Copies of this chain bind each other. A is one copy, B any other.
Amino acid sequence: MTILDFDRLERGRRAFAEVMTFPAPRDASPATSSMLDFVYAEVWQRPVLTRRDRRFVTLACVAAADAEVPLRDHVYAALNSGDVSIVEMQETVLHFAVYGGWPKASRFNMVVDEQWERINGERGRPVPPPASLLPLSTPSDPEARLSVGEQSFKDINCLPYAPARDNPYQGAGILNFVFGEMWLRPGLGMRQRRLVTVACVAFQDAPYPILSHVYAALKSRDLSFDEMDELALHFAAYYGWPKAAHLNDVIGSQKRRVLAEWDAEKRADGA
């Protein structure tokens, strides 16, 4: 073993402990060693996205992957480090439920409760009472809610139109709940919702949502071009290269689309 190789492994262990807030595993399997060396000592240390940013991408990926231990460990690390508040974490679960499916979110929610109790226990304090759900910040009247949903659909997707109401998926689902309520809830910032959403559409792999959400995150300037590139690398580490390769291609095409639109807008302004 050369000094250099040994240093690499130690560097991986230190990086793991810093990100995860607990010591690195001692096993020397190829998967663990490469994880320490590549995922922790390289990917998490990179600039452009902050450690806090990377938490949201990671949480979506581990909740999607149905792997018990990584989910528990990353929920714990995100809360224990102070990078993510409990309110943000719980909103992340709801946001994830919509984009990753309610069954997976159900476990994510349980793990959040358990780890929050564990952290409070470790700090010798009771679990603080949760914030009250009511009153909601969005209108209750169905017609008003649909109007809000249509407007927020346009704003968040950076599109000039909203889908037709008279289709259960679009009306009762997308306009009434997803954009009429869920995206508008306080407690999680738009940038964080973008990070979670892009990770979810990247693992779900349906062809249009990945286009529209990468586009909207760039067009809204909620994520810069460089941040989106970095997100693709972080995602690759947590959800595998095949889906990340597709995300990377989509990012390339949507950057060109956004640049062309900005250019056209600038020329229109100058006219």
Residues of A near any B CB (own CB < 8 A):
1-2, 4-6, 8-9, 27-35, 38-39, 42-43, 46, 48, 61-62, 64-71, 90-91, 93-94, 97-110, 112-113, 129-136, 140-143, 146, 164-174, 176-178, 181-182, 185, 187, 200-201, 204-210, 229-230, 232-233, 235-249, 251-252
Contacts and interface: CB of A to CB of B under 8 A. Distances in A.
14 contacts: A5-B136, A29-B130, A30-B232, A30-B233, A34-B43, A39-B102, A65-B104, A67-B205, A91-B168, A99-B242, A101-B101, A103-B210, A104-B205, A169-B247
A116 to B, nearest CB: 10
A244 to B, nearest CB: 5
Identical chains bound together, number: 3
Given A69-B106, A106-B206, A133-B166, 4 more contacts: A5-B136, A33-B133, A61-B103, A65-B101
A124 B164 CA distance: 24
A136 B106 CA distance: 26
A168 B241 CA distance: 13
A166 B65 contact: no
Given A30-B230, A69-B110, A94-B168, A134 B5 contact: yes
A244 B182 contact: no
A161 B75 CA distance: 27
A70 B102 CA distance: 9
Given A66-B66, A238-B240, A246 B90 contact: no
B206 A243 contact: yes
A148 to B, nearest CB: 13
Contact of A236 (B31, B134, B140): B31
B103 A238 contact: yes
A249 B208 contact: yes
Contacts of A70: 102-103, 106-107, 241-242, 245-246
A66 B101 contact: no
B101 A134 contact: no
B69 A107 contact: yes
Given A29-B232, A140-B142, A168-B229, A237 B62 contact: no
Given A30-B46, A103-B62, A206-B246, A241 B113 contact: no
A32 B165 CA distance: 26
A251 B99 CA distance: 20
B66 A205 contact: yes
Contact of A233 (B48, B99, B168, B201): B168
B107 A208 contact: yes
